[in-house]
Structure 1
Amino acid sequence: MKKTYLLLYTLLCSFFTLSGFATDMAQFRGKVVDASDQSPLVGATIYITDLKAITTTNAQGEFVLKNVPAKGKFLLEVRYVGYRTYSSVVDLGSQNGLSISLTPSIIESAEVVITGSPFSSSNKTSSLSVVTVGKTKLAQAGSTNLMDAIAKIPGVAQVSTGGAISKPVIRGLGYNRVLTMVDGAREEAQQWGDEHGIEVDQFSAARIEILKGPASLLYGSDALGGVINVIDDLVPAPGVHNGEFTSNYSTNNGLTASSLMLQGNENGFVYRGRASYKNAYGFRYKDTTVPNSGFNELNFNGMLGLNKSWGYSHLSFSRFHTNIGLVEDGPDENGNYLNEDGELISNAAAKERRLGLPYQDINHYRAALNSNFILGKGQLKTIFAFQNNIRKEFEESISEPGLNLNLKSYTYDVKYYLPNIGKWEPAFGLQGMYQDNVNKGDEFLIPDYSSNNIGAFAYLKRNFEQGAINIGARYDYKKVNGKDLNFEGEQVFSGFSNEFSNVSGSIGLAFEIAKNLVLKGNAGSGFRAPNIAELGANGRHEGTFRYEIGNNKLKQETSLQFDLGLEYNAENVSFGLNAYANRIFNYIYPGNFNNETMPFENEDGSMGTLPVYRYVQTNADLIGGEASVDFHLVKSLHFENSFAYTRGVNRANDTALPFIPAATINNEIRFEPNIKGFADSYIKVGVNNTFKQARFDSFETQTDGYTLLDAGIGTSINTKRGKLNLWITGQNLLDKQYYNHLSRYKPVNIYNPGRNITFGISVPFL
């Protein structure tokens, strides 16, 4: 605890002493006009993401960005509905008074990418495959959690446990191979668990950026498969204070979800506060409600910060709390759910919002200090964070947890951006993390352990008129100490100490080979040290229907991936093609070999058995691709189509890798009528096709293909305080009964959720 208090004290002292910086206040002015007739565009939004600066144009199309440096080069982004997004690096010293002309477009331009490289850049100058999802689409997805909202993006899937838990999978890689970033810091919440979701308030995400492919160069271990970057809103312009109330209701599991947010900017002092609550009973398929599959959440988060001409510094803090019911058994041969006395559980009883045993109780606390200091022509970006994940699983008693894990994580990330060396942009970084995990219950799955890792990288990027090239290298070192554990005279875990190190690199190119046609290529290596469950697990994993045994002799995973993409964005059509080949050395996966089982005692004293899963290694190949084609032949009509395929191969025996998502084709028609008195109106119909997964490992089973019908309708009403948004989203409208190949409930014959209709409203105030 002393380390915790010391870190928090350091963060607070660093933050509140920033106000004493001697700085020169500066403003950057400009004007935004229509390219065809030079008429002013009122209400256009102007961003400089690296400075957390935002403003809008007035009635004359003019804007003023306050509290920005008097000089320096930064990426400026201008957005206006119905126009192509403008993004360009501007010199705040020499280009003050800039006039920006926007051209009309019926195609939404790609958002600025900040995940894939240290430098904020437009999609045209990023060599990596990055997809962004904005706040509006996240809300209209009708999802039960944040990862569920992005699971239809080509190349992205989810390992689901009912409606409450979703774990991201990118191009066939998930768990500790996909890194989630929140508030600029890596999420550390026992990601090794199948039924361990992402502890993030879904209402706090203004945008999610998904980096597909190895990102070990920038993030170190656990980014071997990609990155999910959860980004909060930029604070309002100086002098602006506002708020928003959002609420929705879903019919499938009675989900009620609401969030209240307040934020403001008083001459560079910025703040934001949010409180959110969610509650759901068991999810349903056909005429069956799955008992004890409900959940509830109560989340609080806030931010205090300074936006000044020397840069910015924001202190964010959050508390995420959730209770999640765990399903122990599937239905009987007649499709009915029975209690421990063998009695039928009615649908009415299954819809009770009170959770029964077993269930999880999770608290995740996070504090992060995110800063960017302008030092002459250079920049120093720092992120210091502390997280405490307290995970309890109640199995036999509602007062005493069986499994009780307490994980503390201290992370730091320091990057320095040197002034340009000619046309080259250099950056250097130092990152690290210290963790300590303690068992406080009387049931055990992983040992007490501590880990310490550190990494350093160097990165170079060169922008030119037709695109950009980049190159980088990194070194990582990680040490894991597992501790002995004896309980009631028996040894549960034997101590071990493992060290891992790796050199990784990346080289990429983005080049506009013709007007609106961009070719992207990237070759990168990845690295991942084994997680604590893979190294030291020994116990029954509640909620996953198996007994796990780790292996402390495992080696680190390394990978080499080649990615090639082609993107075209014209006035009425856009398309994207991506192909990749990823070879992973010492790929780690759990398997049930030779039908090995472990006996266990049920609550009623009867004996049962669980399959034993052991962690092993092999060399593996993952190859595949994604394609998307969007037609906009009529201004108000959009026809969007996408395809994704991943093939996993165990090179030891040329068989399938386990837990690989099936191929998908998604189609959506979206009509956006122009209705007087309303804005952003739409009607959409989507057909989502998932193919049969006929390639599976020996302990898996085939999963049949299925087709789901979705639809939605929504609109906005302009008010003096902003837009009031209304929407209705329907999912699986034909109430199809199906299994997803990555559902954790499939082995016990529990289907995925059936028909669901979500009603949503977002109301601005202040």
Structure 2
Amino acid sequence: MTRLGFRECGVTAFCPGGVRALALSALMTWVAAVGAAAQTSSTLTGLVVDSITRAPLVSAHVHFVDEDRHFVTTDVGRFLILDAHGDSVTLSIDLIGYRTAQWRVAVSDEALVFPMVREAVDVGGIEVEAEAAQRRAELSTPVSTTRMSEDEVTRERGQTLGATLRDVEGVAVIQYGPSIAKPVVRGLHSQRIVVSNGGVRQEGQQWGGEHAPEIDVFGVHEIEVVRGPGSVLYGSDALGGVLRVEPAAPPFGSGLGGEYVLNGFSNNRQVAGSAMVEHGRLRFPLLGEVGGRLRASLRKSGDASTPDYNLGNTGFTELNVSTALGWVRPWGGVKVDYSLFTTDIGLFSGAHVGNFDDLIRAMEQGPAETEFTYAIDSPKQDVVHHAVRLAGHGHVQGLGVVRGVYGFQLNKRREFDSHGPLANRERAAFGLDLYTHSLETMLDHDPIGPLRGTVGVSVSRQGNLSRGKGFLIPQYRSYTGALFASEEAAVGRATVSGGLRYEHRWQRVFEFQDVGIDVPDETRSYDGLSGSLGFSVPFLQDWSIGGSLGRAWRAPNVNERFSQGVHHGTAQYEIGDRTLESERTWNTDLTLRRAGDRLDIQVSAYRNAIDNYIYLEPRDPIQTIRGAFPAFNFRQVDATIEGGEASITARPVSHVQISGGVSTVRGSERGSEEPLYDMPADRLRGSVRALLPSSSWAVEPYIEVGVTAVREQTRVPGGTIYALPTDGYQLVHAEVGATSLNLWGRHVDATLEIQNLFDTSFRDYLSRYKLFVDDPGRDIVLRLRIPLGTSH
């Protein structure tokens, strides 16, 4: 048992001026006061760790023997006991795979470390250790998945959700500078990737190439990437896969707690912070004891820079607020939460030019010289996203667990251009208001023979209002309904799974008439079946092989059928095709896995054959009254996307971890074998992490060095300047950090990372500014997380 010196201290942080900064500063002050109030002499804080690796132990049972009270450690191994009476207390701690231990400790304002000794437990001849359940789950999954835990999300957190996923195999990122990063899974993105946020499908004009998910990464608890259309639970559109984002559940039974999270990014001089307060024993009339959480986050960024020049008008500001309440009873539980995401994003001014000559000159000569600034001018985006979720579950005797979730989302997007009379620039070039209601009810039924699974029904209503002085897409309304079932069964040592989903969509587009634009009042319906069949077979020790066959479809989006105008976020002119039909795909996937103490391996290969694949085909630039813009037509072809990814994590000795991964994608038209536009280049990454000895001031300190190598993308469609190949590049990063540091008398989770260590100039093929400028250069990233009070 070790004392960590958990004492009160003042923590100051710079926040930019303005009402938003003032609001966040006030909240942080309140959280600090709350956290300080919780640190009284009758409070005992502990950290439960592995006695050898010093890794925090999750879900350990802590028994306060003197008062017969029980606690469970959090995802970072911590617990806190309020109102511990007496000068000393007796604690008993147990966890499967570890020897039960008992301590008599003095109550003080210092945190204590409780090391647990690992031991094997024999249950019917099966060795059960702490990680056994998770390994079995990984080995029995037929589809290719990657899960990022809370600690991994905290350590890898970038400026956006997409940037946080940048090192996951099979995931690439469409970039508009550092402010917009759109995930690409196996070559597919936007409406072909379903983002599930807290069990509700994220709806926010995701069809736009620069419309990134409106999710506060500070509020993300864990992320799971499901590659390919292997799941029928998330909707018919998931041709490329699912990003399952989970916020932390409201606390139950614990006392007052919270956290500060502070991030700094040197390249664009960004300061980012988040403050959270929570309590697991709030009391409400009629409801009794309730768990609640409140979080506010702020980001303020200026212009990004390449190794050679400033990227004008690429700053952004982001302010987010979220709150959640939940309660659990013997019959089930209910949770309600609300989130507000707001951002103002500057768009690189050099991509918006006045005529063809300026366009060619901008591509050949590079950007005009600009000075760094935090100011955001047109062209820009203003985005506001409201989300309300109400979820509940109940146990029904003899039937199973009934779950339901209702979601309401309002997405308000405004895009401003930089051309035209100054007096008119304050009015949005176009605005979109998207209203979405969704309701899903599921039954996780009791076993029926060998079958375990879920059946359910899903309905949604969506309405889009178009505003502003220009036109991009018309107003529309749509209704969607679906029935689905997903089952799995153990057959010997193998696991077999299957699912089926029927979905019907009704869509009405409202008439719009203007000069050169003719959108009729039109109603169309789409329907289809999605399905999957998979297996997973374990072999040898810690190995399994799994495969899946998936069928999916996607109705054409309104923008693909009716776009006609300048999309200022992407600085391109888009032309729709109202004759487009639904995409339909057959996907095959094979995955080999190993999950062991010293070696984890995952190797996947896939083939996605898509009929009626819809994509933007580059064409000659178009001159408009607002300037000259690259132009694209929506086109439909039969296509094949195939490739693979592999990842490995090896721990040859206790203090060294070696990680690596590779991803490759090949997309082409069937018949002509013409390469598809927007396929990611081949990518290879590798890193070595040295784990240093823990001490009284640092738990699990480490040093890491890694490299990412991206191959030149030569598989590009011919006949257009927009598809010019980009050179390959290599980037080196270095990082130091620790699971927990004792700084300023508090526990602090800290990392310091240098991305693009040698300040290399490069242009990624998926960068939307690659025709004009390099990608941003070296970035020094500091991440601090300061737990407060009970929960952490």
Normalised by the shorter chain, which TM-score bucket?
A: 0.7 to 0.9
Does structure 1 residue 385 correspond to structure 2 residue 407?
yes
Q: Which residue of 1 aligns with 2:508?
A: 481
AA at the equivalent of 1:739: R
Q: Which residue of 2 aligns with 1:148?
A: 163
Does structure 1 residue 633 correspond to structure 2 residue 652?
yes
Does structure 1 residue 453 correspond to structure 2 residue 480?
yes
Q: How far does residue 43 in structure 1 lie from its aligned partner after superposition? A: 5.6
Quote the RMSD (CA, aligned, Å): 3.1
1:56-100 residue CA offsets vs partner (Å, 9 max, x unmatched):
399422489xxxxxxxxxxxxxxx999999999xxxxxx9xx9x9
1:381-440 residue CA offsets vs partner (Å, 9 max, x unmatched):
111000000001122545322211111001111111222112211421111221100112
Q: Which residue of 1 aligns with 2:211?
A: 196
Q: Which residue of 2 aligns with 1:55?
A: 72
SS at match of 2:528: strand
- Aligned pairs for 1:110-509 (under 5 A) are 122-141=137-156, 143-215=158-230, 217-266=232-281, 268-330=289-351, 332=362, 337-338=367-368, 345-347=369-371, 351-377=372-398, 378-395=400-417, 397=424, 399-463=426-490, 466-487=493-514, 491-509=517-535
Q: Which residue of 1 aligns with 2:735?
A: 712
Does structure 1 residue 695 correspond to structure 2 residue 710?
no
SS at match of 1:219: coil
Q: Please, which of 651, 676, 696 is the counterpart of residue 670 of structure 2?
A: 651
SS at match of 1:122: helix
- Aligned pairs for 1:26-45 (under 5 A) are 44-45=58-59
1:711-758 residue CA offsets vs partner (Å, 9 max, x unmatched):
1101212699984211101100111111111111112x2111100001
Whole-angstrom distance in 1 between the partners of 2:60 and 2:548: 31
**Structure 1 stretches of 5 or more lacking a match?**
1-32, 48-52, 65-79, 89-94, 113-120, 339-344, 603-607
AA at the equivalent of 2:161: L
- Aligned pairs for 1:530-541 (under 5 A) are 530-541=556-567
- Aligned pairs for 1:505-544 (under 5 A) are 505-544=531-570
Q: Structure 1 residues 171 and 109, CA, compared in 2 at 3 Å: closer, same or farther? A: farther
Q: Please, which of 679, 685, 696 is the counterpart of residue 705 of structure 2?
A: 685
Q: What's the % identity of the aligned pairs?
A: 28
Moved more, 640-649 or 457-466: 457-466
Whole-angstrom distance in 1 between the partners of 2:121 and 2:391: 24
Whole-angstrom distance in 2 between the partners of 1:652 and 1:384: 45
Give the number of aligned pairs.
Answer: 674
- Aligned pairs for 1:84-123 (under 5 A) are 103=129, 122-123=137-138
Whole-angstrom distance in 1 between the partners of 2:210 and 2:120: 42
Moved more, 732-741 or 423-432: 423-432
Q: Structure 1 residues 556 and 392, CA, compared in 2 at 3 Å: closer, same or farther? A: same
1:559-584 residue CA offsets vs partner (Å, 9 max, x unmatched):
11111111112332222211111111
Q: How far does residue 490 in structure 1 lie from its aligned partner after superposition? A: 6.5
1:195-230 residue CA offsets vs partner (Å, 9 max, x unmatched):
111100010001110000004622223211101111
1:244-293 residue CA offsets vs partner (Å, 9 max, x unmatched):
00001111001111000111211751111100000101111113110101
Return the TM-score normalized by structure 1. 0.83
Moved more, 566-575 or 124-133: 566-575
AA at the equivalent of 2:699: A
Whole-angstrom distance in 2 between the partners of 1:257 and 1:221: 36
1:584-612 residue CA offsets vs partner (Å, 9 max, x unmatched):
1110001124x3x422124xxxxx43233
Q: Structure 1 residues 621 and 615, CA, compared in 2 at 3 Å: closer, same or farther? A: same
Whole-angstrom distance in 2 between the partners of 1:540 and 1:755: 33
Whole-angstrom distance in 2 between the partners of 1:599 and 1:439: 23
SS at match of 1:138: helix
Q: Which residue of 2 aligns with 1:564?
A: 590
Q: How far does residue 137 in structure 1 lie from its aligned partner after superposition? A: 2.5
AA at the equivalent of 1:538: Q
Q: Which residue of 1 aligns with 2:767?
A: 743
Does structure 1 residue 599 correspond to structure 2 residue 623?
yes
Whole-angstrom distance in 1 between the partners of 2:555 and 2:593: 34
Return the TM-score normalized by structure 2. 0.80
Whole-angstrom distance in 1 between the partners of 2:731 and 2:600: 25
AA at the equivalent of 1:566: L
AA at the equivalent of 1:406: D
Q: Which residue of 1 aligns with 2:692?
A: 673
Whole-angstrom distance in 2 between the partners of 1:571 and 1:362: 45
Q: Structure 1 residues 499 and 372, CA, compared in 2 at 3 Å: closer, same or farther? A: same
Q: Please, which of 753, 757, 762 is the counterpart of residue 780 of structure 2?
A: 757
SS at match of 2:448: coil
8 A contact 1:55–1:63 mirrored in 2: no
Whole-angstrom distance in 1 between the partners of 2:278 and 2:389: 18
8 A contact 1:124–1:467 mirrored in 2: no
Q: Which residue of 1 aligns with 2:572?
A: 546
Q: Structure 1 residues 695 and 292, CA, compared in 2 at 3 Å: closer, same or farther? A: same
SS at match of 2:470: coil
Q: Structure 1 residues 371 and 215, CA, compared in 2 at 3 Å: closer, same or farther? A: farther
AA at the equivalent of 2:167: K
Q: Structure 1 residues 43 and 619, CA, compared in 2 at 3 Å: closer, same or farther? A: closer
Q: Structure 1 residues 679 and 585, CA, compared in 2 at 3 Å: closer, same or farther? A: same
Whole-angstrom distance in 2 between the partners of 1:472 and 1:620: 25
Q: Which residue of 2 aligns with 1:573?
A: 599
8 A contact 2:250–2:326 mirrored in 1: no
Q: Which residue of 2 aligns with 1:727?
A: 751
Whole-angstrom distance in 1 between the partners of 2:263 and 2:50: 40
AA at the equivalent of 1:702: P
Q: How far does residue 492 in structure 1 lie from its aligned partner after superposition? A: 4.7
Q: Structure 1 residues 446 and 753, CA, compared in 2 at 3 Å: closer, same or farther? A: same
Whole-angstrom distance in 1 between the partners of 2:195 and 2:554: 14
Moved more, 547-556 or 610-619: 610-619
8 A contact 1:240–1:265 mirrored in 2: yes
AA at the equivalent of 1:673: L
8 A contact 2:157–2:217 mirrored in 1: no
Q: Structure 1 residues 389 and 750, CA, compared in 2 at 3 Å: closer, same or farther? A: same
Q: How far does residue 240 in structure 1 lie from its aligned partner after superposition? A: 2.8
AA at the equivalent of 2:200: A
SS at match of 1:218: coil
Per chain length, whose mean CA-contact separation is higher, i.e. which structure has more relative contact order (CA < 8 Å, sep 6+)?
A: 2
8 A contact 1:87–1:122 mirrored in 2: no
8 A contact 1:560–1:582 mirrored in 2: yes
Q: Structure 1 residues 111 and 746, CA, compared in 2 at 3 Å: closer, same or farther? A: farther
